[in-house]
Amino acid sequence: MMLKEIAKADKDPALLRQILAIAQSFHWSADATIQEWQSPYARLWIWDNAQDLVACCGGQILFEEANIHYFWVAPKHRGKGKGKVFLRALLDQFQENQVEKVNLEVRASNQAAIALYQALGFKIIDRRPNYYHDPAEDGWVMQLTIE
C-alpha cells in the first residue's frame, strides 16, 4: 500500500477533477473544497495504483488533532479490506505527526463505515440530527484517541 500526501503544488488537474467529484459525492461543493485546500491545515491523502485511484481522504491537521472531512474508497475496491489498510496507514501517519485525537462524521445509515471506524478504535461521541441531506438523516460524530 502506498499512502501519499498530496502537496498543494503537486495536485495535477486530472487528480483535482477526480477529487472534486469525490468531495461532491459527500455534498462538498467545488467552491468549498477549493477553499478548504487553501487552508494551511488542509491535507489530502491518496492511495493510487498504476493511475487507478484506490482511496482518498481529505481533512485537516490542527496541532494535536486531525479532522477527517471525507474518506472514500473506489467502489470496485470496497469490501476487500482496502479501506481498513488505508485508514490504518493514515492513523500511523497521524501518530508520527503527534496527533492525539482524530474526529470524523458519518451517516447514521452507513453501517459499513461505522463498523470500519469502530474496528480501528473510533467511538461515537455525539449525534447531529438531520446533519446530512439527500436523503436527510442524522450524522454520528466519531473520535479516536491515539495512545
Q: What amino acid positions are annotated as catalytic residues?
A: 105, 117
Helix or strand run (H / E) with residue 112: helix 111-119
Sign for the pseudo-dihedral over CA of 88, 90, 91, 92: positive
Cβ(94)–Cβ(146) under 8 Å? yes
74 Cβ contact partners less than 8 Å away, ≥ 6 residues apart = 52, 53, 54, 55
If you search the block for the grid coordinates 436523503, which residue do you land on?
135
Alpha-carbon distance of 131 to 101, in angstroms, equals 22
Alpha-carbon distance of 66 to 87, in angstroms, equals 13
